Amino acid sequence: MSLARELFRRKPVTPPAPSPGGLTRGIGTFQLAMLGVGATVGTGVFFVMHEAVPLAGPAVILSFLVAAIAAGLSAVCYAEMASAVPVSGSTYAYAYVTLGEIVAMGVAACLMLEYGVSTAAVASGWSGYLDRLVGDLFGWDIPAALTAGPLEGGIVNLPAVILVGLCALLLIRGTRESAAVNTVMVIIKLGVLLMFGAIAVTAFQADNFADFAPHGAAGVTAAAGTIFFTFIGLDAVSTAGDEVRDPQRSLPRAILIALVTVVAVYLFVAIAAVGAQPWTDFEDPGQQSAGLAVILGDVLGAAWPATVLAAGAVISIFSVTLVTLFGQTRILYSIGRDGLLPRAFARVDPRTHTPVFSTVVVAIAVALLAGFIPLSSLWDLVSMGTLVAFIVVSIGVMVLRRTRPDLPRAFRVPGYPVTPVLSILACLYLITGLGWSTYAWFAVWVAIVLAYYLLWGRRHSLLARTERETDAATAAGPPSADVDEGRGGSAT
C-alpha cells in the first residue's frame, strides 16, 4: 500500500448497534441537550466576558452574536453529521469516515487541546467563586496559597484539584447518573443567570453603550474569537453518540436545542452586564475571579444576591467541568477503540459501563494542569482548536454527501451547500482575529500529535491490522485442489 493511501484510509460507516461489554445507551434527548448547555453556559459569562469586554467594549454584544452565528452554522453541520454517523468520538470520528486517518488524528489533537485545556482552565477558575461563596456564608477566606499555583504565588489550586476529582468519581459511577446530576445543575444555573439579568437590568444605563466599539471591528473580531471556544458544548453533545438511546434522532435535536438555549442566555446576560456598569470596569482585577457577583453586589448594595450568584457559579462551573471531562474521556475511548491509542483507553468497566482507565488518566492530567499552571491566557488556543474542529465538520458534511448519499439522515443541513461553506468562512474569519503566538503554539501541538501517529499510531490502528491480515490471506491464496482432495480422502 502506498504511503498516501495508508495515511488517508477511511473508517467505514456502520449503523448504531449494541456493543456487548461496551458503553450502554441510556441518555435521552433532554438530558443530551442539557449536556450541551452544561458544557457551554457558564464559561462565557462567568469567565470569558471579563476577558472579552476589554477587547471590544460594549460591542462585545456583537462579538457574542458573531460567535453565535458561526457556531449556529457549524451546529447544523454537526446535526447532520451526528445523524449520519451516530457514534462516540465527535469530530474525530466524523473526520475518520470522511477525510482519512491522518486528518482524524490532527482533529484529535484539536479536541484534546480543546477539552483538556478548557476543562483545566474552568476548574482553576472555580476557586474564585468558591472563595466568594465561603466568605459570604461563613465569613472566612480560603488561604491564598491554596487557590493559586506556584507560578501565581501560591502552592496549589486545591479547589480545582478537588473539583476534577469529584467530577471523575461521578463519571466513573455511571453515565446516566452523571447526566441526571448535570441536568439538575443546568436548571439551577439557568435560573441563577436569569436572576442576575433581571436584577442587573434594573441598573441599566444607556450611557454605558455610548462608546460602543472603542477598538473598532478588530476588537469585535478578537473578542468573538476568544468567546467562541465556549461553544464547545455543541461538540460535547456529539461525544456521547454511543450512549444515546436513539442517536440518529436525539443527537441533532439536542445540538439545536442547546444552541438556541445558549445563544439566548449569552445575549441576555451580556446586555444586562454591560448595561449595569461602564465597560472599563470589567478590567478591574477585583472582578476577574468573581465578576458577575461583584456586579450584582454593586447594583443592589446588598450581599444576598451576590451570594446566590456565587452559589450558582459554583454549581455552573461544576457542570461545565463535568461535561467537558466527560467529552474528553469519550474521545480518548473512541481513539483507543480504533487502535490509535493503547487499547487500555477503550476498556470499559463491566459493572458501571464506563471507561474507567481513560477517565482516571484524563482526571490526573487535568488536575495537574488546573492545580499548578495558570491557563487563563490560553483561551485563544482553545478557540483555535474549536474553530478548526468546526471547519472539519463542515467539510465532512459536503464530503459525505458526495461519497455516501445513500446514508439515512434524520436531519439535513438547510441551504446546502451554501450553509457549510458559510460555516467554514465564518470560522476562518474568527481565526484571523487570533494572535500569531496562538498559531505557533497550535502548530507545535498538532505536530507533536501527528509525529506520534506516524511513529506508532498508523501501524497499530485497527484498519492497519485488518489490511495486513487481508494482504496476508491474499498472498497465501486459496488452498490447492490436491490439499483439499487429500483432506477429503483422509476424512472418509
Confidence band (pLDDT; 50, 70, 90) for 457? very high
In this predicted structure, the answer to whether residue 132 has a pLDDT above a threshold of 70 is yes
In the block, cell 492530567 appears at 365
In this predicted structure, the answer to whether residue 20 has a pLDDT above a threshold of 60 is no
In this predicted structure, the answer to whether residue 450 has a pLDDT above a threshold of 60 is yes
Question: 248-287, pLDDT tens digit by residue?
Answer: 888 899 988 998 998 898 889 889 888 888 888 887 766 5
Cis peptide before 86 (omega within 30 of 0): no
- pLDDT at residue 287, as a whole number: 57
Question: Which residues are registered as beta bridge partners of 157?
Answer: 147
Nearest to 339 by CA among 235, 467, 471: 467
Mean pLDDT of 18-36: 80
Question: 57-112, pLDDT tens digit by residue?
Answer: 999 999 989 888 888 898 899 999 988 888 878 899 999 999 999 999 999 999 99
Lowest mean per-residue pLDDT among 22-26, 40-44, 137-141: 40-44
Confidence band (pLDDT; 50, 70, 90) for 488? very low
Confidence band (pLDDT; 50, 70, 90) for 18? low
Question: Which residues are registered as beta bridge partners of 244?
Answer: 27
DSSP state at residue 112: H
Architecture in CATH of 24-435:
Up-down Bundle (1.20)
- The predicted model scores a pTM of 0.86
Residues 6+ apart with CB under 8 A from 23: 88, 175, 242, 243, 333, 348, 353, 354, 355
* Chain centre to alpha carbon of residue 318: 15
- pLDDT at residue 483, as a whole number: 46
Confidence band (pLDDT; 50, 70, 90) for 198? confident
Residue positions counted in the chain: 492
Written as nine digits, the cell of 166 is 469529584
